[in-house]
Amino acid sequence: MSSEIERLEEQLRRCFEGGAWHGPAVLEALEDVLPQEAHAHPIAGAHSIWDLVLHLAGTYRLVLRRLTGDSTPLAPEQDWPTVPSPTANDWREAVQALRQLNQDLRRSVRSFPEDRLDEPLPADCPYTAHTQFIGLTQHDLYHAGQMVLLKRAFRAVRQNSRHG
């Protein structure tokens, strides 16, 4: 039988890398996204795919900080950083940084004491460790769904402009 820590880490992996029962995980949603697509805003008032990647990275950094006892909230520029120009290198770096942060977080979760899952993380935070770990899976999947819709919207606009 798996421990709760192992189940949490598995869910963090599945919602990020793939194999989630609901549909595409974050990396599956990002498959074949080009820098121009990631940078685009095909839905008025919505974030771009790139915005969402940087936002997810900020959230991983927040929980990683909390694991060290740092309860400093995310500053707005950490939560929604400025997106760089849409170069292939910058896009690759953004996705790679997100991959690395997910791996770092899963490594930290694997070494987290299971008997502390129901304790606030850190001690002065209103959320337990379990709530934050499972909350990251919910957050990833929420934004993965947005990424899929943004990718479809961008491609529909591009397709219509070719035939219109």
In this predicted model, what pLDDT tens digit does every residue of 24-54 receive, in sequence order?
Answer: 999 999 999 999 999 999 999 999 999 999 9
CA–CA dist 110, 47 (Å, integer): 32
CA distance 109 to 105: 6
pLDDT at residue number 1: 64
CA distance 65 to 71: 7
pLDDT computed for residue 163 by the predictor: 66
Q: Domains, the chain, ranges and CATH?
A: 4-163 (1.20.120.450)
Give the pLDDT score at 2. 82
Three-state DSSP state, 122: coil
CA-to-CA distance for 62 and 57, rounded, in angstroms? 9
This prediction's pTM = 0.94
